[in-house]
Structure 1
Amino acid sequence: MAVALPGVTLPSVVEELLSEMAAAVQENAQIPDEHLLSLKFIFGSSAIQALDLVDRQSITLISSPSGRRVYQVLGSSGRTYLCLASCHYCSCPAFAFSVLRKNDSLLCKHLLAVYLSQVTRTCRQLKVSDKQLTDILFTKKKQEA
């Protein structure tokens, strides 16, 4: 099973690694050590932090009847961040600074945790109405302002 990352433009080596990890999880119910080492090599300490978020089941996929999807990640600080996997975005300050501004990271730990939760199929799911999803997005935007 390939991980669906529509619209995301991650380097092909990352997409390939995530696909291999998904296939391994489907076959063996775990991620092989060699993939974990590759993950650590590519993402550094963010990989360990992202895996910790996955282990703690901190990722929730919120979906609405219209097909809109947003991931909510409870960060290690206790703050909740919104991630849009379809366009490779996280609302955390690390994403804005390290990924967008400095361009020295591919992903923040929250977005990586979203992709890893897809790979491991451990993402919690919450179905809400379209209005509720709009309210979640709008409330988050007001908090950031």
Structure 2
Amino acid sequence: MAAASRAISLATVVEELLSEMAAAVRDGSAKLKFVFGSSAVQALDLVDRQSITLISSPSGRRVYQVLGSSGKTYTCLASCHYCSCPAFAFSVLRKSDSLLCKHLLAVYLSQVTSTCQQLSVSDKQLTDILLTEKTHEA
């Protein structure tokens, strides 16, 4: 029961965050930089370069791929607040000194600005994409 109420409150927080981010994008990046630090400018750069692709399958599964500034592609799962980049693992999960990495912030910004590229693939292709990412991490 506690997990269910926690999930509901997390979803509420994410919705509020997305709403605030949309307002911040309309007003300029100053508010974003205040909340997210230097990641905000880097995330806005990724959005401007159209580096975010939403990949969806017929079953309704959705993942985002972000072409990072280094040229490496990272997989983000916005539904569970996850990115495959080392900064997310270190700064968000291990040290807990950041809310999210620049890639995940770019995904959220692209959602509120409707600027991400879209790609529809089969369920098998999406599974292959996720397995390839897992293989590269290992």
Q: What TM-score do the two structures reach when normalised by structure 1?
A: 0.83
Change (3 A) 1:11 1:37: farther
Deviation at 1:89, TM superposition (A): 0.1
**Unaligned 5+ runs, structure 2:** 1-6
Contact 1:8–1:85 under 8 Å retained in 2: no
In structure 1, which of residues 101, 105, 108 is the aligned counterpart of residue 101 of structure 2? Answer: 108
- For 1:109, the aligned partner's letter is K
Alignment of 1:1-145 (within 5 A): 9=10, 12=13, 15-22=15-22, 31-33=26-28, 36-145=29-138
Contact 1:57/1:122 (CA < 8 Å) preserved in 2? yes
Provide the C-alpha distance between the structure 1 equivalents of 2:9 and 2:81, rounded to a whole number of angstroms.
6
Measure, in 2, the Cα distance between the counterparts of 1:50 and 1:10. Answer: 22
2:4 paired residue number: none
Moved over 4 A (4+): none
Query: Conserved in 1, the CA contact under 8 Å of 2:21 and 2:32?
Result: no
Give the counterpart letter for 1:129 in structure 2.
Answer: S
Report the alpha carbon displacement of residue 142 of structure 1 after superposing the two structures with TM.
0.4
SS in 1 for 2:132: helix
The answer for unaligned runs of 5 or more in structure 1 is: 1-5
* Counterpart-to-counterpart distance in 2, 1:136 and 1:10: 26
Q: Report the count of equivalent residues.
A: 132
Deviation of the 1:8 alpha carbon: 8.5
Q: What displacement does 1:52 show?
A: 0.2
Shift of 1:18: 2.8
- TM-score normalised per structure 2: 0.87
- Distance, in Å, in 1 between the alignment partners of 2:20 and 2:86 is 30
